[in-house]
Structure 1
Amino acid sequence: MARIVVVGAGVGGLATAARLAATGHQVTVFERAGTVGGKLGRYTHDTPAGSFHFDTGPSLLTLPEVFHDLFEATGAKLDEYLDLIPLDPIVRHVFPGGGPALDSCADPMEFATRIGAAFGDRAAADWQRLWRRAARVWNASSRDILRRTVDSPRDLASLAWRVGDLAAIAPGRTLRGLGRRHLSDPRLRMMLDRYATYTGADPRRAPAALVAVPYAELAFGGWYLRGGLGTLADALLTRCLDLGVVVQTDATVTRIDATGGRVHGVRLAGVTAPVPADVVVANVDALTVYRDLLPHPRRLAGLTDRSLAGFVLLLGVSGSTGLAHHNVFFPRDYDAEFDAIFGDPGRGVRARPAADPTVFVTVADDPMVRPAGHEAWFVLVNAPRQGTAAGAVDWRRPGLADAYADRVLDVLARRGMDVRDRLLFREVRTPADLDAATGAPGGSIYGTAGGLLRPANRGPANGLWLVGGSTHPGGGLPMVTLSAQIVADEIGPAW
């Protein structure tokens, strides 16, 4: 039996703790916040009409088998804890210039039919060809990357890639380039580009291999958890406590002790004595680990290319708008949005809030999260991270957040969804707020910008492991949960 300390009670930390406790280890979790869940945040706003409940982080669950596997590995059944609701449409895409919207779904033939009805037979045939390629990329990734450690480019190069896999993955090609090669309809290209933002990246620079992201969503479905996705954090906490995990909130780890090439424990704020540990699992951003908790200049050097962040509005809306669960309202000029978000420090162009951004609106048809006759809107806009460098924006600047909130509502109105006279309230969450609430540096949602190589799960000291969205295999709830499986398998059982 090893004494294991998990730093951070996000989904990755709780999933790792549950797996390790189920195999006989003594596990303690320290969380700096007063609640568990990390970026899987929640917010409640009370009004005379009733209470509105919001997920302030992820709003879609994909790859449900990953979560079934997690609960079964810890001696339970997912359905005993969570109520999964399949979504159709998974996402409603609303394109500029009017014309039909496109509803995605988990039936490939049906989705192709919907594309054909909206955009014509050629567009449907284009998508089916891209879909076959995406399937090869997904199968190769799932087989060789997503469930094993990848510590360096050498590990990727040593994989026994099949010739067809390499051709599909197209090393050196971007997701944008892949779309332009395969898709003739500009609206389908725009839809494909959007998936780069799932990893916090610019589609003009993101690798073509990210075509596996829409495949995973559309092949295995998109799901909602009744009561909100925050119920996943509740379920994982319950699982941990039932397995004997000690979970301490309001406990900030300030240092990982590691001398002689291995970890010995952690230091807590306000506590003199160190907490001994044989193994430390860090469920915090890799940049925070190597900058603050265990300074390591060489590993820190590769973490400067940060992912995009998000600007969020939480809206209480009276009446019904007829929106789908997930809706994407695209701009006329997608490139202008990415130019604004990432800037171009090399040419002295600073990042800035996009003037005409893509707007994501999530509206759960769930009486558990809003009063009757009302809707709880989660509105997300891609945004530069918090900071004062050229590639960031100081979201704490007086008046900026409220002014940009007005802009986002104006953009929605221009795209046919004007709710400005139906708002009971609005709450604003900027990248600076996400940084403060979760410790995500600059409010970057996914750590470093997306790519095949993420910071390794294996730390530079023996007994140190990293899990979560900033590490391999990447961001998003299923990838974070797979990082927990990878680390727990590497640590191994106590017996």
Structure 2
Amino acid sequence: MARVVVIGAGLGALAGAARLATAGHRVTVYERSRTYGGGVRALTRDGFTFDTGPALLHLPAVWRDLFLKTGREPLESHVTLRQLDPGAVHRFADGTEVPLPVTRSGLIGALDAGLGAGAGRRWTDLLVRARAVWDATRRPLLEEPLTDAPPPTDPYPALRRRGLLRRRVPTLAEVAADELADPRAAALLESYAVAYGLDPRTAPASTTVLPYVEHTFGSWRVAGGMRALADAVYRRCVERGVEVVLGTPVADVPVRAGRACGVVLADGTEVAADAVVDGRCPHAGTAPGRARLTVLLALRGGRPPGAPHRTVVHAPDRDVALAGLFDGARPLAAPTVTVLRPDDASSVPDAEHEAVSVTATVPPHAPATAAGAPYTTTDWSDPATVAAAVEQLAAAAGTVVPELAERLLWHAVHTPADAERETGAPGGTVPVPALAGAPDTYRQAPNLAPTPGRYAVGGWAHPGGGPAHAGMSGALVAGLITEGPHWRGSS
């Protein structure tokens, strides 16, 4: 039985802690903040409850596996899941609205009805090609720990290859233009990359795996919000004997005889350990990527029956929006936003009210006094900047939520500066999943660190961002510690 110290109580770190404790190890988690869950948090006020971090679950099999492996119980015995159908409704700049039903026939019919004959077939044919990406990368980029081996080359079978002798792998934007024909369908594809802070003009064609995963495995709502999942994972840790110490930052990971030997807490206390699992962001001050801005709207009047849970309202000008997000153009342009209208009685004080969240991908936070940042930033502590952005997001939400302004009781804002304070990620940046095939700039930390006895877990470790990927990192680290450094995942 090993003594294991876990730094951070994010979802991935807790998932690893629960698995390690179930395997017989003595596990202690030190979390710098006063709560667990990392970026999976909620705001509760006046009977309203909102997710302030991730609000939907993809690849729920990762969490089903956790509860089966740590207690032989189904996930659904701890939380209630409901698959969204349609998975989303997309509203384009010309006013066209297209739902994305979960069935293939429904998807083809909806796209043909909204975007014209042939649109559905082109989209589903693209998803078939994206399955080649999933088949080629699922194991090395999701189910195996990250090693020093190079990631798989982009396996997307594009209809057309560009560059000298057509050997250059196309970008996602080029795939969208070549294979989908309609600019609205192209915007639909690109929105999956933008949601994770990836520029579709430079993201590889393999990023098509993101809509494939969503269409194939669904988008799921957790009753009570994603915080309910964090609560369930925390309870599982406690049940398995994990000690979780909140409000206790870790200052250092000492190395003796070439091996990590424990942690030094901020108060100077040294805690010995046979293995140290680090769930912190490894980037100091200049994390790459983009962040998210969320506006939480408390409305009078109940949610209309049949209102879609998720609506993606596309930017009125795609090129201008991308320039503001990735090229440093000022002022920030009206972005693509996601409007969530959950059908969840626990999120509102009664049936005569509605809780609506509006989220957009934005540049990360850096104070106006900071200079020399190697990527586009915004000062999200500036009230005028926040107010202007809130106005843009509310205007977009008003196109799909009737009488929004008249129904508004109050609003709250969760900015990248808030996310930085809560998670420690510089600028409040959001980690990218490895499955997206992101450039090396976004590559995650290896689960097995170069220093023996040290491991990395969570969204900033392999296999990357999002609750499912973070949960998988916990499984990978638990396997490495329990089975040894040559373990390469379950078969």
Fold match (TM-score > 0.5):
yes
1:493, distance to aligned residue in structure 2 (A):
5.3
Are the equivalent residues in 1 in contact too, given 2:155–2:206 (CA < 8 A)? no
Evaluate the alpha carbon distance shift between residue 238 and residue 230 of structure 1 in structure 2; reply closer, same or farther with a 3 A threshold.
same
1:281 matched to which residue of 2? 277
Are the equivalent residues in 1 in contact too, given 2:463–2:469 (CA < 8 A)? yes
| 2:142 counterpart (134, 142, 146) | 146
- Aligned-partner Cα distance in 2 for 1:338–1:329: 15
Name the count of aligned residue pairs: 462
- Aligned-partner Cα distance in 2 for 1:455–1:352: 33
| 1:221 counterpart (207, 218, 230) | 218
1:184 matched to which residue of 2? 181
Evaluate the alpha carbon distance shift between residue 52 and residue 352 of structure 1 in structure 2; reply closer, same or farther with a 3 A threshold.
farther
| 2:194 counterpart (194, 197, 200) | 197
- Aligned-partner Cα distance in 2 for 1:447–1:258: 30
- Aligned-partner Cα distance in 1 for 2:229–2:62: 13
2:475 matched to which residue of 1? 485
1:413, distance to aligned residue in structure 2 (A):
3.6
| 1:457 counterpart (447, 451, 468) | 447
Moved more, 309-318 or 319-328: 319-328
1:334 matched to which residue of 2? 318
State the one-letter code of the partner of 2:266: A
- Aligned-partner Cα distance in 1 for 2:115–2:393: 28
Evaluate the alpha carbon distance shift between residue 327 and residue 467 of structure 1 in structure 2; reply closer, same or farther with a 3 A threshold.
same
- Aligned-partner Cα distance in 1 for 2:331–2:226: 28
Are the equivalent residues in 1 in contact too, given 2:101–2:110 (CA < 8 A)? no
1:325 matched to which residue of 2? 309
Evaluate the alpha carbon distance shift between residue 469 and residue 197 of structure 1 in structure 2; reply closer, same or farther with a 3 A threshold.
farther
- Aligned-partner Cα distance in 2 for 1:416–1:135: 35
Are the equivalent residues in 2 in contact too, given 1:402–1:428 (CA < 8 A)? no
Name the SS of the counterpart of 2:76 in structure 1. helix
**Aligned-residue CA RMSD in angstroms?**
2.3
2:288 matched to which residue of 1? 306
Evaluate the alpha carbon distance shift between residue 274 and residue 352 of structure 1 in structure 2; reply closer, same or farther with a 3 A threshold.
farther
Name the SS of the counterpart of 1:27 in structure 2. strand
1:74 matched to which residue of 2? 70
- Aligned-partner Cα distance in 1 for 2:329–2:142: 32
Q: Report Cα offsets for 1:145-196 as digits up to 9, x if no partner.
A: 21112333x3435xxx8xx946469873211122122111111110100111
State the one-letter code of the partner of 1:22: T
1:11 matched to which residue of 2? 11
Are the equivalent residues in 1 in contact too, given 2:88–2:100 (CA < 8 A)? yes
Structure 1 unaligned blocks of 5 or more? 292-303, 344-349
Are the equivalent residues in 2 in contact too, given 1:409–1:418 (CA < 8 A)? no
- Aligned-partner Cα distance in 1 for 2:245–2:256: 25
Are the equivalent residues in 2 in contact too, given 1:412–1:418 (CA < 8 A)? no
Are the equivalent residues in 1 in contact too, given 2:342–2:355 (CA < 8 A)? yes
1:23 matched to which residue of 2? 23
Are the equivalent residues in 2 in contact too, given 1:353–1:384 (CA < 8 A)? no
Q: Report Cα offsets for 1:289-329 as digits up to 9, x if no partner.
A: xx7xxxxxxxxxxxx56111111111101114644111111
1:2, distance to aligned residue in structure 2 (A):
0.9
1:123 matched to which residue of 2? 119
Name the SS of the counterpart of 2:147 in structure 1. coil
| 2:239 counterpart (225, 236, 242) | 242
1:402, distance to aligned residue in structure 2 (A):
2.4
2:131 matched to which residue of 1? 135
Q: How does 1:165-184 map to 2 (within 5 A)?
A: 165=155, 167=157, 172-184=169-181
- Aligned-partner Cα distance in 2 for 1:264–1:144: 29
Evaluate the alpha carbon distance shift between residue 353 and residue 415 of structure 1 in structure 2; reply closer, same or farther with a 3 A threshold.
farther
| 1:358 counterpart (336, 353, 362) | 336
1:57, distance to aligned residue in structure 2 (A):
0.7
1:441, distance to aligned residue in structure 2 (A):
1.0
Segments of 4+ moved more than 4 angstroms: 168-171, 414-418, 447-450
Name the SS of the counterpart of 2:138 in structure 1. helix
1:447, distance to aligned residue in structure 2 (A):
6.5
Name the SS of the counterpart of 1:32 in structure 2. coil
1:213, distance to aligned residue in structure 2 (A):
0.9
Scaled by the length of structure 2, what TM-score is found? 0.89
- Aligned-partner Cα distance in 1 for 2:433–2:252: 22
Structure 2 unaligned blocks of 5 or more? 162-167, 485-491
- Aligned-partner Cα distance in 2 for 1:252–1:7: 8
1:65 matched to which residue of 2? 61
- Aligned-partner Cα distance in 2 for 1:179–1:459: 37
Q: How does 1:255-294 map to 2 (within 5 A)?
A: 255-270=252-267, 272-288=268-284
- Aligned-partner Cα distance in 2 for 1:52–1:243: 32
1:366, distance to aligned residue in structure 2 (A):
0.7
1:295 matched to which residue of 2? none
- Aligned-partner Cα distance in 1 for 2:6–2:66: 17
Scaled by the length of structure 1, what TM-score is found? 0.88
1:367 matched to which residue of 2? 345
- Aligned-partner Cα distance in 2 for 1:328–1:225: 20
Q: Report Cα offsets for 1:52-85 as digits up to 9, x if no partner.
A: 0011111111112111111111123211101111
Are the equivalent residues in 1 in contact too, given 2:156–2:206 (CA < 8 A)? no
1:32 matched to which residue of 2? 32
Name the SS of the counterpart of 1:445 in structure 2. coil
Are the equivalent residues in 1 in contact too, given 2:129–2:157 (CA < 8 A)? no
1:386 matched to which residue of 2? 365
- Aligned-partner Cα distance in 2 for 1:447–1:262: 29
Evaluate the alpha carbon distance shift between residue 440 and residue 305 of structure 1 in structure 2; reply closer, same or farther with a 3 A threshold.
closer
